[in-house]
Amino acid sequence: MQIGSSMSTGAFAALVPATSVSSPSTDPLIGVAPTGDTSADLMKFLQMSPAQKMEYQWLSSHHITQQQLSSMTQAQRDALHEQMASDLKQKAQQDLESKTAKANGGLNIVV
């Protein structure tokens, strides 16, 4: 399931100008193209903390680079982090409901 939509529409339109949306080939964490060394890129990812991985994946799915994030105003970063937290909380709730339904034999029991 993809979280959210493109940066050029919706709640993020005011946060990042349409011209600053990165190409899919740009690494959203470091703001530059991947090194091309797959094992080095993988090692860089594996060395991240779980929180860094979640932020990296969320930013990547919204085509935002770390460089773009750092160039935003504090208010824009706060709004983006609030949206990120909301999206991740919603996804966690959906995952929990899905697992609960599977554990109940496909029945979603609400207490």
**Domains in the chain: boundaries:** 10-103
Q: What is the pLDDT of residues 48-57, one digit of tens each?
A: 899 888 888 9
Would you say residue 46 has pLDDT above 60? yes
- Pick the closest to residue 84 from 15, 36, 8 (CA basis): 15
Q: What is the pLDDT of residues 93-103, one digit of tens each?
A: 999 988 887 77
What single letter denotes the amino acid at residue 68? Q
Rounded to whole angstroms, how far apart are CA atoms 17 and 96?
35
Q: Tell me what pLDDT residue 76 has.
A: 95
